[in-house]
Structure 1
Amino acid sequence: MAAATLSTTDSEKLSKLQSAVAGLSQISDNEKSGFVNLVSRYLSGEAQHVDWSKIQTPTDKVVVPYDSLAPTPEDPAETKKLLDKLVVLKLNGGLGTTMGCTGPKSVIEVRNGLTFLDLIVIQIESLNSKYGCNVPLLLMNSFNTHDDTQKIVEKYTKSNIEIHTFNQSQYPRLVADEFVPLPCKGNTSKDGWYPPGHGDVFPSLKNSGKLDALLSKGKEYVFVANSDNLGAVVDLKILNHLIRNKNEYCMEVTPKTLADVKGGTLISYEGKVQLLEIAQVPDEHVNEFKSIEKFKIFNTNNLWVNLNAIKRLVEADALKMEIIPNPKEVDEFKVLQLETAAGAAIKFYDHAIGSNVPRSRFLPVKATSDLLLVQSDLYTLNDGFVIRNKARANPANPSIELGPEFKKVADFLGRFKSIPSIIDLDSLKVTGNVWFGANITLKGKVVIAAKPGEKLEIPNGAVIENKEINGPEDI
């Protein structure tokens, strides 16, 4: 799709911006040109909306059912060959601010005192030990998480795993009405800058020199996933399938539940597979997009990509992913962040596919309610892998809503003497000043709502099944 040409006003805006960006000493030439390029595409108003009538549901050839992927080789020597072609890359640019933490989100303790990063390292170590292979771990940091992560990875120096870190781009926030970079307005703090979304993983991998280094070692595929998705573990079936079928890109999708209705989905469009995000959907079709009857799958952001293909497309400047404008307010300035998503790159790769994977490969921890699930008896830990307890009959996890008192990790941990048993829980809603004792069991549908101004303590050993509790008399 050709970019529209810029109007005179927009051309003037862009050249003024270019000279302002040229004077920013904090960022590299690659970052400057990447940023100007992104703004130029944004101004030209490249068509972002899709023609609804052209959308088709992808066939099983395009979104391959997990069960129909080729089986993995039984010979350990063949498995070693496969794994030696692989690199694992975790997106580690996010801070744990929404959960009340100050450092990188990946260092929040998830279970048994182990952090997301500990679990990732243990998983890859056990693969390397079992097969005698060398799967390296790459962490893509942002300028927000770089310094802390460098200190944290030092503790893994004695492990049998190579860990590499690199930074994604640092772009200046745009003052919306004047169209100048925020750092030019005298804001020299971190607030003047932003990391431009995980779509930036491809150019950053190339610009950091890591891509060429990996290719020179015979690596062929990178498995990219969010560091907070505990289900995103190396999968030999997917890797084997991609190598055998020469697929340059694979997005793992999984069946939608009502909790995932806003997640992006895969469609067939003008002969190619592409990601459809809610932001691209015309208003009159949003309800249809959210329906789990028509769009049955959503993107887990577990992506498998061929490294040679990344090099080819980045060097040709061919990855023109949809731009996501993210308006914010900083120091009373209305600013704009332009971002891209890695999943949107699917349409630029050859023989790109989706794979409809089991729900167990999507276990993100976005809030303390998710932490409650993974710390409970619903899961066990084995070699760094968080494994679901077979004792739970219901394939879906319980829905959990915790009030603002539980939002921060420290407060959440303080309010539970121990995490309750939730094997037979369907839903839990907690509001108000509630404290949990030890060895509590929750079953069915449970609502616990403390009266305003009152403290409600759930005693040790309580068993609560299909009840609403507002005070001690209800227990």
Structure 2
Amino acid sequence: MSAAQSSAQSQPNLSFDELKSRLEPFEQTHLLRFWDSLDSDQQSRLSEQIAQVDFARLKTLIEGKDKSVDFGELAARATMPQAVASDGSGCDWTLEDAQKRGEEALRAGEIATVLVAGGQGTRLGFDQPKGMFPVGPVSERTLFQFFADRLIAAGEKYGVDVPLYLMTSEATHVETRRYFEENNYLGLKPEQVTIFQQGTMPAVDAETGQVLLAEKGSLALSPDGHGGTLRALSRNGCMEEMRKNGRKHLFYFQVDNPLVGLCDPVFIGHHLLASSEMTTQVIRKRYPTEKVGNVVEIDGQTQIIEYSDLPDSAAEMTNADGSLKLWAGNIAVHLFDLDFLERMLDLDTSLPIHRANKKVSHVVADGQLVTPESPNATKFEQFIFDLLPNAKNTIVCEANPAEAFAPVKNANGAATDTPELAQQAICDLHRGWLRSCGVTVDDSVKVEINPRFAMDSNELCEKLRQSGDSDGEQSISSDRYFS
């Protein structure tokens, strides 16, 4: 692993009196009520956690004095930003121009990638990091393997090792690191992979604003959201490493989408030809209240209104022809200009805080652990897409959901975003590639094509032509994995 792999330096341990002095102005001294019953390791852990919390900022959040947003009012004024359609319309260059420019950037080693992988597979009924979930319809490759194979294929095609910065959470960090180490980094070079941990925010009691204790010697902490990615990259030396190695653009994606077009040269090309500081990939929403962020333009600025913040009445607004007014759904694929990200750090730009009411188990004054039956706490998180309004220039790129979006979020049996539906989407896409090459394949046959065999239908046709497996010969009648 790279040098940036090491964690940020720990805070020095503070004494009881130092901790009490830090907590008293904010009425949070209850966090030390069990201090004398803790052993030295537990005291050290609690001290470090308290030292890392910005209690002045937290107080502002608890009191609700941060800038509040009326999302309903915003949505009423929202229009669609200019977007490049999936067929290439909407811009002054062709798809071929975009592909050529994107391939130039890849060959020049200008692209780095960051994978946000802090989630566990709880909703899937999977008790490991979600990236370890076996999603391959034939191969049973994990989500992590899907992304590693695509990076390896891109590296072979463009003659450069594309770095992978992988952000975990406290819940997934150790197991994710072990998984990569025990599986030889899934074919990637160890120095190509940097695993680092995102920050946390304490959960507070919804009524009193007191920070909750998960244990007598530990705060109730939760990940600070994907909005913490930028700070975590900087804190762990990743930004400095990218700049030193000549990277200019950062491809951002999340762990639950096996169809993400990782290092897609056309997407990269649109970003570069538009001189965009932040480019966002979108799909047309399948239904008005689909649980994706809504990409909009308000007062000349592109921004995203999260589905949880958008009133249903706004989500269901239509144009005169009956089409959805706010049709562009965010699929958590962005491309950032590195200069833009560094400017955001230098300006210490604070992303808005989003609040969520959650059930949080906690230790009460008598030392007993309480597990609530209804939401009792407020969690705070930030979203990476809230950087959009700060970008001087942005562009939105539409993707075909059948080719770019098959999220794995819910257990099989749910209506949407299940492993079965993702596997079906993978097979549908790859059967389509085969048919475009003249191969007959029945809809009942499962087909999976590793990007190391072919990254797209054109590469597949060439591979099959070279092997004599196309132009009428082929009829695939059983499940097949091309690797």
2:130 counterpart residue number: 105
2:420 counterpart residue number: 372
**CA separation of 1:372 and 1:276: change in aligned 2, threshold 3 A:** same
**CA separation of 1:337 and 1:351: change in aligned 2, threshold 3 A:** same
Q: CA deviation at 1:281?
A: 3.5
Name the SS for the 2:282 alignment partner: strand
Q: Judge conservation of contact 1:55–1:267 (CA < 8 Å) in 2.
A: no
Q: CA deviation at 1:308?
A: 2.0
1:56 to 62, 74, 78: 78
1:277 counterpart residue number: 306
Greater relative contact order structure (CA < 8 Å, 6+ sep): 2
Aligned equivalents of 1:352, 1:18: Cα separation in 2: 42
1:386-425 to structure 2, matched below 5 A, reads 387-390=429-432, 421=444
Equivalent residue letter for 1:175? D
Q: After superposition, what is the alpha-carbon deviation per residue over 1:355-413, rounded to whole angstroms, capped at 9, x for unaligned?
A: 1121121111112432213434x534xxxxx94422999xxxxxxxxxxxxxxxxxxxx
Q: Judge conservation of contact 1:273–1:346 (CA < 8 Å) in 2.
A: yes
2:406 to 363, 367, 371: 363
Q: CA deviation at 1:192?
A: 1.8
Q: CA deviation at 1:259?
A: 7.7
Equivalent residue letter for 1:337? K
Q: After superposition, what is the alpha-carbon deviation per residue over 1:125-171, rounded to whole angstroms, capped at 9, x for unaligned?
A: 11111211121111100000000011011123483441101110022
1:230 counterpart residue number: 258
Q: Judge conservation of contact 1:99–1:367 (CA < 8 Å) in 2.
A: yes
Name the SS for the 2:378 alignment partner: strand
1:194-343 to structure 2, matched below 5 A, reads 194-232=222-260, 233-258=262-287, 261-281=290-310, 285=314, 287-288=316-317, 293-330=324-361, 331-332=370-371, 334-343=376-385
TM-score when scaled to structure 1?
A: 0.70
Q: What stretches of structure 2 of length at least 5 have no aligned partner?
A: 1-22, 33-42, 362-369, 413-417, 436-442, 447-483
Is 287-296 or 252-261 further displaced after alignment?
A: 287-296
2:151 to 88, 103, 124: 124
**CA separation of 1:226 and 1:75: change in aligned 2, threshold 3 A:** closer
Q: CA deviation at 1:195?
A: 0.4
Aligned equivalents of 1:168, 1:58: Cα separation in 2: 32
Aligned equivalents of 2:167, 2:318: Cα separation in 1: 32
**CA separation of 1:317 and 1:130: change in aligned 2, threshold 3 A:** same
Equivalent residue letter for 1:344? D
Equivalent residue letter for 1:356? E
**CA separation of 1:49 and 1:118: change in aligned 2, threshold 3 A:** same
Aligned equivalents of 2:122, 2:188: Cα separation in 1: 31
Q: Judge conservation of contact 1:199–1:340 (CA < 8 Å) in 2.
A: yes
Q: CA deviation at 1:217?
A: 1.1
2:4 counterpart residue number: none
Aligned equivalents of 1:323, 1:113: Cα separation in 2: 36
| Identity percentage of aligned residues | 20
Q: Is 1:168 aligned with 2:198?
A: yes
Aligned equivalents of 1:21, 1:341: Cα separation in 2: 28
Aligned equivalents of 1:375, 1:76: Cα separation in 2: 29
1:470 counterpart residue number: none
Q: Is 1:354 aligned with 2:384?
A: no
Equivalent residue letter for 1:308? D
Aligned equivalents of 2:179, 2:115: Cα separation in 1: 15
1:32 to 53, 73, 85: 53
Name the SS for the 2:47 alignment partner: coil
Aligned equivalents of 1:309, 1:391: Cα separation in 2: 37
Aligned equivalents of 1:87, 1:76: Cα separation in 2: 13
Aligned equivalents of 2:119, 2:377: Cα separation in 1: 20
Q: Judge conservation of contact 1:141–1:165 (CA < 8 Å) in 2.
A: yes
Q: After superposition, what is the alpha-carbon deviation per residue over 1:432-463, rounded to whole angstroms, capped at 9, x for unaligned?
A: xxxxxxxxxxxxxxxxxxxxxxxxxxxxxxxx
Q: CA deviation at 1:21?
A: 8.1
Q: Judge conservation of contact 2:289–2:316 (CA < 8 Å) in 1.
A: no
Q: Is 1:134 aligned with 2:181?
A: no
Equivalent residue letter for 2:275? K
Aligned equivalents of 2:102, 2:329: Cα separation in 1: 33
Aligned equivalents of 1:271, 1:314: Cα separation in 2: 23
Name the SS for the 1:258 alignment partner: coil
Aligned equivalents of 2:142, 2:204: Cα separation in 1: 35
Q: Judge conservation of contact 1:278–1:289 (CA < 8 Å) in 2.
A: no
Q: CA deviation at 1:92?
A: 0.6
Aligned equivalents of 1:256, 1:292: Cα separation in 2: 11
Instruction: Identify, as 1 or 2, the structure richer in strand.
Output: 1
Q: Is 1:16 aligned with 2:41?
A: no
Aligned equivalents of 2:102, 2:277: Cα separation in 1: 25
Q: Judge conservation of contact 1:253–1:298 (CA < 8 Å) in 2.
A: yes
**CA separation of 1:64 and 1:142: change in aligned 2, threshold 3 A:** same
Name the SS for the 1:181 alignment partner: coil
Aligned equivalents of 1:259, 1:53: Cα separation in 2: 13
**CA separation of 1:367 and 1:260: change in aligned 2, threshold 3 A:** same
Q: Judge conservation of contact 2:288–2:315 (CA < 8 Å) in 1.
A: no
Q: What stretches of structure 1 of length at least 5 have no aligned partner?
A: 1-12, 381-385, 394-419, 424-475
Name the SS for the 1:329 alignment partner: coil
Name the SS for the 2:177 alignment partner: helix
1:184-203 to structure 2, matched below 5 A, reads 186-188=215-217, 192-203=220-231
How many residues matched? 373
Aligned equivalents of 2:341, 2:31: Cα separation in 1: 27
Aligned equivalents of 1:173, 1:58: Cα separation in 2: 35
TM-score when scaled to structure 2?
A: 0.69
**CA separation of 1:379 and 1:286: change in aligned 2, threshold 3 A:** closer
**CA separation of 1:292 and 1:74: change in aligned 2, threshold 3 A:** closer
Q: After superposition, what is the alpha-carbon deviation per residue over 1:196-247, rounded to whole angstroms, capped at 9, x for unaligned?
A: 2111111111112111111111111111111111121221112122223321
Aligned equivalents of 2:318, 2:30: Cα separation in 1: 41
Is 314-323 or 20-29 further displaced after alignment?
A: 20-29
